[in-house]
Chains A and B, each alone.
Chain A
């Protein structure tokens, strides 16, 4: 059995009177792609936000590499998110004033890397993700699929230990969505990044090694993880 790199144990979280998580648990090993599925409003994004240290659960534990994430103060969680985690959201959320290559370099710039070095790190991602020639475009000049691939490059440029992807294909047509998933899984495998993927689409979840379903804030394992190839 794979040792957990990131795990949640019996998480509970309510927004006011409304319970969002009622005892959610999961774990993912290094290099594993884990899909979290479930109906709308079931709590899957809330669970992802707890794992990523964006939200703090009312009770339960979140552990990354053996450390309690839920007990860290906001400053330390912020550093963890910036240096160790990567993120891709449904709508790429690129900064419209920046060029595509500046968007990709942004996490490095925020972490203190000098501009020239950050852009040099960012550029190889354009060839790798089929984005050659689009380096100087702004987000308004990119198609949905291109923008999402730029967002994927931004999520992976720091070589994060864990990539959190929340409905990364939700705004794309079927073919563009498949392209993003193929690139995401290949790139994550190459650099040994664990991927926590939230999706309501079974065909997207089928890229994962294992699947956990969230229903009414509770988790159950749908498909146990296979060993990552």
Chain B
């Protein structure tokens, strides 16, 4: 999963300190593996170097660094492109999709649109795999079946998430 894009998403919500970004990242996306401070500031440094964010002046306060980071227009564009692009329909993509949906809800965006785009990408891939299993030898059929069953599981997750969007939005907004 992309740490830089997730931090950009959190910064689109509001300008934040590195500490706040780490706290929110750990709360929603770390899955029990907290993001090290070194990685947070290293990533922010690279994003600033590439013009995706701007680091403000150091502010007085406790802790090692008190800079407020602000997303730039280029950063917003990069984040939006990532959000708009359905994830390649492969098994085990939930982590990326989960991150996109939570960020979309945090930012008050139309999460349903992303879920629908992902559903369409999955269904297209299922159609390709179905063509493959119909045309190919038994070995291809077995491989295609494996992909089809996993994609179907993803679709069930997409359906469940669709049904729970309102409650999820409440849970991730503050």
Q: Interface of A with B (CB < 8 Å)?
A: 39, 182, 202-203, 205-208, 211, 220, 222-223, 226
| B123 lies within 8 A of A207 (CB) | no
| B123 lies within 8 A of A211 (CB) | yes
| A206 lies within 8 A of B134 (CB) | no
Given A203-B130, A222-B116, A223-B127; 6 other pairs, CB 8 A cutoff: A202-B152, A206-B123, A206-B148, A207-B130, A211-B123, A220-B116
Say if the beta carbon of B155 comes within 8 Å of chain A: yes
A182: which B residues are within 8 A, CB to CB?
134
Nearest residue (CB) in A for B163 is: A39
Say if the beta carbon of B169 comes within 8 Å of chain A: no
Option from A39, A206, A208, A226 in Cβ contact (under 8 Å) with B159: A39
| B127 lies within 8 A of A222 (CB) | no
B130: which A residues are within 8 A, CB to CB?
203, 206-207
| A205 lies within 8 A of B152 (CB) | no
Interchain Cβ contacts under 8 Å between A and B, 11 examples: A203-B149, A206-B130, A206-B148, A208-B127, A211-B123, A220-B116, A222-B116, A222-B120, A222-B123, A223-B120, A226-B127
State the Cβ distance, B156 to closest chain A Cβ, in Å.
9
Say if the beta carbon of B70 comes within 8 Å of chain A: no
Whole-angstrom CA separation of A202 from B121 in the bound complex: 12
Say if the beta carbon of B129 comes within 8 Å of chain A: yes
| B152 lies within 8 A of A223 (CB) | no
Whole-angstrom CA separation of A226 from B129 in the bound complex: 15
A223: which B residues are within 8 A, CB to CB?
120, 123-124, 127
B122-150 CB mask vs A (1 if < 8 Å, else 0) is 11101101100010000000000000110
Whole-angstrom CA separation of A39 from B163 in the bound complex: 10
Say if the beta carbon of B53 comes within 8 Å of chain A: no
Nearest residue (CB) in B for A211 is: B123
Give 3 closest A-B pairs by Cβ, nearest first.
Answer: A206-B126, A206-B130, A223-B123
| B120 lies within 8 A of A206 (CB) | no
State the Cβ distance, A101 to closest chain B Cβ, in Å.
28
| B151 lies within 8 A of A202 (CB) | yes
Whole-angstrom CA separation of A178 from B112 in the bound complex: 31
B71-92 CB mask vs A (1 if < 8 Å, else 0) is 0000000000000000000000
State the Cβ distance, A17 to closest chain B Cβ, in Å.
24
State the Cβ distance, B120 to closest chain A Cβ, in Å.
5
State the Cβ distance, A223 to closest chain B Cβ, in Å.
5
| B159 lies within 8 A of A203 (CB) | no
State the Cβ distance, A218 to closest chain B Cβ, in Å.
13
State the Cβ distance, B137 to closest chain A Cβ, in Å.
15
State the Cβ distance, A180 to closest chain B Cβ, in Å.
13
